[in-house]
Chain A
Amino acid sequence: MTHPTTTRRGLDRALVARALGDAFIKLSPRLQFRNPVMFVVFVCSVLTTLLWFQALAGHGEAPTGFIFWVSLWLWFTLLFANFAEALAEGRGKAQADALRGSRRDVAAKKLARAERDAPIVFTPSSELRAGHFVLVEAGDIVPGDGEIVVGAASVDESAITGESAPVIRESGGDRSAVTGGTRVLSDWVVMRITSNPGESFLDRMISMVEGASRRKTPNEIALTILLAKFTLIFLLACATLLPYSIYSVQAAGIGNPITLTVLIALLVCLIPTTIGALLSAIGIAGMDRMIRANVIATSGRAVEAAGDVDVLLLDKTGTITLGNRQAVAFHAAPGVEERELAEAAELASRADETPEGRSIVTLAAKRFGGPDRRAIDARAEFVPFTAQTRMSGVDVGTRHIRKGAMDAVERYLESQDSHLPPLVRRMAEDVARRGATPLVVVDGSLTLGVLELKDIVKEGIKERFAEMRKMGIRTVMITGDNPLTAAAIAAEAGVDDFLAEATPEAKLKYIRDMQAENRLVAMCGDGTNDAPALAQADVAVAMNSGTQAAKEAGNMVDLDSNPTKLIEIVGIGKQMLITRGSLTTFSIANDIAKYFAIIPAAFATTYPALNALNVMHLATPQSAILSAVIFNALIIIFLIPLALKGVAYRALGAGALLRRNLLVYGLGGIVVPFIGIKLIDMLLVLFGLA
């Protein structure tokens, strides 16, 4: 859903307001219980509040004001955590609302048969079932997900994709799928409904963006276990400090045992609240980043798996090369002028509206200037490409110009009682060896020469692949080309491997072989014949323009139908894990400074010598403890943008990446709180709260 930036900013303000409200609603113990770290903070907040009431009643274990401030900041810690989660969820909710708007119940024109002229019964879209046939005409909203069985139409899919330019959807082939909620702009189609109400793509998308946080991913569960164990050990370490303190006071004969308020403050500071507070926000934000990249994942698990991908299967066309091959040279047969060849090729391609055909016309015009178009058009009879002949061409008077792949043309020449000159054959083979596609052009039984069509490798793609390699991801090019051509393009694009003359079976086998070696495979596809491979792949991105079968088989749908996005998806998956890891490290590293703040403050009355540990020279024991608690709460707020945006991710090897993140979040996590706590302490002194 790409919203213009202005509305997004407006949305943000509304989002913040909504998140603020939600932060309070999320204080419900039932919701808090799901996050063990924050539940401990919750219990601590309640306890200190009770201690404050006790102090108000005149039996306080510490000054009333001190308990009040500690208690207040503990509640803030909780609220900040809730706010982070609510903010992350907010974006999804806003999108879900927008999507829901497009899921209107429309009166669908239900057909008795799959024919345009069949009798129509107006039926609410909510009553349509899989297998029903529906007529959708210009101006109608598509009542549900389905496949076009008859006709073609231009469809406005902006409700789903955010892309305002209409797209063509037609029966047969790989562009037959239509999505409920989109609008037919022109023409008409007869479609077969493929999903029951509540199971449509839109429904799934809404539940996805809304409920992204509801199910924890495997990795999130493992991390939660680790954090819970850490919390437990800190709980024990803090709880047992009370008896230690009582014993020490008895033994030393001076001072007072540590107060519950201080113990609770120490506990909340030590348990990994930073990551605990932001954990679910990070997960939701990861999903959200996918959604903003216009990719809908069917589960958080799929997003996480994307980070682990070892092998990327990429379709050559559209991903590695520009969509189309382009004519780059004419190689005339012996005794034929190059101009003659160019003219014939140009003539044969004139009606060919494919980009390849157009590129031939363009090349001919560039080399020799265009001939008079109208003069010839009148007499010309174009022969379209068919699967049988695998040639196209034009008949102009007695001339029968044909162009096609070498083997197809050879067969044609044999039927004309002629044969391919050996020199032309060698020319064609030379072209193929260079990774280009040779098209042989003949006029009747006369071979004119070879047209060189070349795949244009996308700019910058080689660098992307080099990055992938550094990240440890193998890139594999999938192409229908012969091995020779494929090898040449693979070398030019810098992929690690290629699969030539790829059939759906070959793709499926390749994926299975990779998985047998325990590699995680990602691929994208759009056609029905891609469906088995998509279902087999670990991360399978279906193009939104693709068939329903492909979309069902994949675990992600790219609304932009851009195969290059696979690379982006991997990045987003990795970024989510990195953000989690970095904030965990940061959270634990913070504890060191907090110890230096709290321990001397807590035990200074018993062992004044421990004041030597007060390296930050915090003003008073109370200001020291309060500063640590405040820092602990504020750091959550400061890190919300990082949690939502994700840690900057660079394509580096694992070692380099670890070194960098350890330095920033590990070492940074040690140093930052020393500065932060000292600053807060100075402010507390300034405001007379010390």
Chain B
Amino acid sequence: MSANDWIQIVVYLAVLLLLVKPVGSYMALVFAESPNKVTRFGARIERVVYRVAGVEPGEEMGWKKYALAMLLFNVLGMVAVYVLQRVQQWLPLNPEHFAAVTPDSAMNTAVSFASNTNWQGYGGESTMSYLTQAVGLSVQNFLSAATGIAVLVAVIRGFSRRGVKVLGNFWVDLTRTTLYILLPLSLVISLLLVSQGVVQNVLPYEHATTVQATSYDEPVKDADGNPVVDAAGKPVVRHVSTQEQVLPMGPAASQVAIKMLGTNGGGFFNANSAHPYENPTPFSNFIEMLAIFLIPAGLCYTFGAMVGDRRQGWAILATMLVIFVPLTFGLVAAEQAGNPALHGLAIDAHASALQSGGNMEGKETRFGIASSGLFAAITTAASCGAVNAMHDSLTPLGGLVPMWLMQLGEVIFGGVGSGLYGMLAFAVVAVFIAGLMVGRTPEYLGKKIEAHEMKMASLAVLLPCALVVICTAIAVMTPAGVAGVANPGAHGFSEILYAVSSASNNNGSAFGGLSVNTPFWNVLLAICMYFARYPLAIAMLAMAGSLAAKRHVPESAGTLPTHTPLFVVLLASVVIVVGALTFLPALALGPIAEQLMSATGH
């Protein structure tokens, strides 16, 4: 690793940590039980929203009602986005006259954007009208993020409230999240991005004539959009030459801001944050990376503030960093070291004044190794899924890191709200084992962890794992599943494993290399996304419901402290052990085999 790599990572982490407290304490005010300067500020707008929606803001909901409201709201959102995609050809703001999206792709996208996954089987600039993007997808970017935060807030109330059955009002939490957190922050980020050159308009696409004719190979696709392969299994290509370049336009900046802030990750353009109109400069790249972690990191502080012990929040944040930082350095180091298969050849892969060195395949030269590697780690640690480099082109070990970060259950920062409540499920499991080891019925934040909590927490921890291994098995066993694989062998297996891991943990980033806009993949991944998001959230709400009803156990010297470095190490170990034990065999057949083979020259 070069000094440049080190500096970029350290500066990023330092700026992030400086922002945790201000953002976190602001969010704590938003969700405070009593009115304060923040909630008074928007009280009038809130009242109007509630009156229009017919919501009684004072009404507190039990966990079942809260979960039902959340689920209903999200299903309605899915239906709306589905319908919008299917009828976009008849609606305005469609200058490129895109046709209706296919049913399977529309369904996949609807689930994807509602579940905060933002897996994209489609290419934005060649599929979606401006209206669909702005009213369907952008709105869902806000609402899916707000849903995650609302569920988290209810879960935190489960810990902080004592002897009550209610967790708050879903509609109020949703409204406040959107109004006080997501809207203002996206406005700031959008403006910053626009200043860097991110486009924001509703113009038709620009057509430019290039000086030089460009020729390239285009894969031949059949009527269903699947790539055609020849007898040897290689994709059939057609040689094309053109002097026309189409420059896509659109309201990108507003969507990019919330795509990052809400850990959504769905790019306005197909190339996502690698596209120069979505992420033009190193500074915009830095802003985007910061936007991804801003809310998940801040929520840790909010959590501490809401449960009345800020150290608890810092401990959770420390746990996330303990896993995130080494993996990030590992990823960047692997990329900087370059492809092991090329070692010993007459290739200079060292960083110098003239080149970044290392493995630059699939990376943007304006970002280089560090900013691409860091982005890849951030986007997969958080369940964002935006990419500024092609993960398929990472070195085997470099590719292992993003894949594994997702497989850990998206709890290392994770999705806004969902990452932290996932981490709290891990904390409950960790506390349970640790509590036994100190000889007391385990308790976390003064609440006794008993059979019901254990059932829900282990469900939340294991559900994504189960989805990944089962759906990967389904994919590799079905011809439709393996048909989309671009590279056979261990790397092809990695591509499938990555796609399923991404969907089953609501990340949404794509390894690439796998053609997924097929009915099989659209349906399989939609199932993954749906089940990873909602049953897990409901399990956590159920746990919160039972926790809220419990009385608070006072702390004593016999109570296991959950804010110490020891607990941080323990919690990190539990997260890593569950992730490692579940996925090690599968990873051995993918990236690990690939790495070992490249290293030995196969």
**Chain A residues within 8 Å of B, Cβ to Cβ:** 218-219, 221-223, 225-226, 229-230, 232-234, 236-248, 251-252, 266, 270, 304, 307-308, 310, 469-474, 517-519, 573-575, 577-578, 580-582, 584-585, 588-589, 591-592, 595, 599, 602-603, 606-607, 609-610, 612-613, 649, 653-655, 657-659, 661-662, 665-666
Q: Would you call A574 and B493 a contact (CB within 8 A)?
A: no
Q: Would you call B476 and A247 a contact (CB within 8 A)?
A: yes
Bound: A473/B588 CA distance, A: 49
Q: Would you call B556 and A236 a contact (CB within 8 A)?
A: no
For window 62-116 of B, CB contacts with A under 8 Å fall at none
Q: Which residues of B contact A222 (CB under 8 A)?
A: 432, 449-451, 453-454
Q: Would you call A236 and B469 a contact (CB within 8 A)?
A: yes
Q: Which stretch from B29-37, B208-216, B557-565 is at the chain A interface?
A: B557-565
Q: Which residues of B contact A655 (CB under 8 A)?
A: 560-561, 564, 566
Q: Which residues of B contact A232 (CB under 8 A)?
A: 462, 466
A–B complex contacts, Cβ < 8 Å, 19 sampled: A221-B451, A222-B451, A223-B432, A233-B466, A237-B585, A239-B473, A240-B469, A472-B558, A518-B552, A578-B437, A581-B437, A584-B433, A585-B433, A607-B593, A607-B597, A653-B557, A657-B437, A657-B438, A661-B437
Given contact pairs A226-B454, A252-B490, a sample of 19 additional A-B residue pairs in the complex whose CB atoms are under 8 Å apart: A218-B450, A219-B450, A222-B454, A225-B454, A225-B458, A230-B458, A230-B462, A308-B440, A472-B557, A517-B554, A518-B552, A582-B437, A588-B577, A599-B585, A603-B588, A609-B599, A653-B558, A658-B570, A665-B437
Asked whether any CB of chain A lies closer than 8 Å to the CB of B589, the reply is yes
Bound: A355/B490 CA distance, A: 86
For window 554-602 of B, CB contacts with A under 8 Å fall at 554, 556-561, 564, 566, 570, 573, 577-578, 580-586, 588-589, 592-593, 596-597, 599-600, 602
Bound: A222/B433 CA distance, A: 11
B24 to chain A, nearest CB (A): 26
B355 to chain A, nearest CB (A): 30
Asked whether any CB of chain A lies closer than 8 Å to the CB of B281, the reply is no
Given contacts A225-B454, A654-B557, contact A244 B566 (CB under 8 A): no
Q: Would you call B561 and A580 a contact (CB within 8 A)?
A: no
Q: Would you call B490 and A248 a contact (CB within 8 A)?
A: yes
Given contacts A232-B466, A308-B441, A518-B553, contact A610 B436 (CB under 8 A): no
Q: Which residues of B contact A308 (CB under 8 A)?
A: 440-441
Q: Would you call B441 and A219 a contact (CB within 8 A)?
A: yes
Q: Would you call A659 and B566 a contact (CB within 8 A)?
A: yes
Q: Which residues of A contact B589 (CB under 8 A)?
A: 244-245, 248, 603, 606-607
Bound: A584/B561 CA distance, A: 20
For window 463-490 of B, CB contacts with A under 8 Å fall at 465-466, 469-470, 472-473, 476-477, 482, 488-490
Asked whether any CB of chain A lies closer than 8 Å to the CB of B323, the reply is no
Q: Which residues of A contact B599 (CB under 8 A)?
A: 609
Contact of A240 among B449, B450, B472, B588 (CB under 8 A): B472
Asked whether any CB of chain A lies closer than 8 Å to the CB of B40, the reply is no
Q: Which residues of B contact A251 (CB under 8 A)?
A: 488-490, 492-493
Q: Which residues of B contact A666 (CB under 8 A)?
A: 573
Q: Which residues of A contact B462 (CB under 8 A)?
A: 229-230, 232-233
Bound: A258/B57 CA distance, A: 58
Asked whether any CB of chain A lies closer than 8 Å to the CB of B366, the reply is no
Q: Would you call B438 and A218 a contact (CB within 8 A)?
A: no
Q: Which residues of A contact B453 (CB under 8 A)?
A: 222
Q: Which residue among B436, B564, B582 has the maximum number of chain A CB atoms within 10 Å of its CB?
A: B436
Q: Would you call B554 and A658 a contact (CB within 8 A)?
A: no
Q: Would you call B439 and A577 a contact (CB within 8 A)?
A: yes
Bound: A335/B580 CA distance, A: 88
For window 528-571 of B, CB contacts with A under 8 Å fall at 551-554, 556-561, 564, 566, 570
Q: Would you call B437 and A234 a contact (CB within 8 A)?
A: no
Q: How many residues of B contact A (CB 8 A)?
A: 67
Given contacts A310-B554, A657-B439, contact A244 B585 (CB under 8 A): yes
Q: Which residues of B contact A472 (CB under 8 A)?
A: 556-559
Bound: A654/B435 CA distance, A: 9
Q: Would you call A599 and B454 a contact (CB within 8 A)?
A: no
Q: Which residue among A244, A252, A610 has the maximum number of chain B CB atoms within 10 Å of its CB?
A: A244
Bound: A310/B446 CA distance, A: 13
Given contacts A244-B585, A247-B482, contact A612 B596 (CB under 8 A): yes
Asked whether any CB of chain A lies closer than 8 Å to the CB of B434, the reply is yes
Q: Would you call B459 and A658 a contact (CB within 8 A)?
A: no
Asked whether any CB of chain A lies closer than 8 Å to the CB of B424, the reply is no
Q: Which residue among B434, B436, B438, B439 has the maximum number of chain A CB atoms within 10 Å of its CB?
A: B439
Q: Would you call B435 and A244 a contact (CB within 8 A)?
A: no
Which chain B residue lies CB-closest to A263? B585
Asked whether any CB of chain A lies closer than 8 Å to the CB of B320, the reply is no
Q: Which residues of A contact B552 (CB under 8 A)?
A: 518
For window 409-451 of B, CB contacts with A under 8 Å fall at 429, 432-441, 449-451
Which chain B residue lies CB-closest to A241? B585
Q: Which residues of B contact A603 (CB under 8 A)?
A: 588-589, 593
Q: Would you call A233 and B465 a contact (CB within 8 A)?
A: yes
Q: Which residues of A contact B583 (CB under 8 A)?
A: 237
Asked whether any CB of chain A lies closer than 8 Å to the CB of B455, the reply is yes
Q: Which residues of A contact B455 (CB under 8 A)?
A: 225
Q: Would you call B597 and A310 a contact (CB within 8 A)?
A: no
B350 to chain A, nearest CB (A): 26
Q: Which residues of A contact B466 (CB under 8 A)?
A: 232-233, 236
Q: Would you call B436 and A607 a contact (CB within 8 A)?
A: no
Bound: A655/B566 CA distance, A: 8
Bound: A248/B600 CA distance, A: 19
B443 to chain A, nearest CB (A): 9
Which chain B residue lies CB-closest to A311? B556
Q: Which residues of B contact A242 (CB under 8 A)?
A: 473
Q: Would you call A580 and B558 a contact (CB within 8 A)?
A: no
Q: Would you call A658 and B469 a contact (CB within 8 A)?
A: no
B558 to chain A, nearest CB (A): 3
Bound: A454/B451 CA distance, A: 50
B280 to chain A, nearest CB (A): 39
Bound: A246/B476 CA distance, A: 9
Q: Which residues of A contact B564 (CB under 8 A)?
A: 655
Q: Which residues of B contact A219 (CB under 8 A)?
A: 436, 441, 450
Bound: A585/B438 CA distance, A: 12
Q: Would you call B469 and A471 a contact (CB within 8 A)?
A: no
Q: Would you call B551 and A237 a contact (CB within 8 A)?
A: no
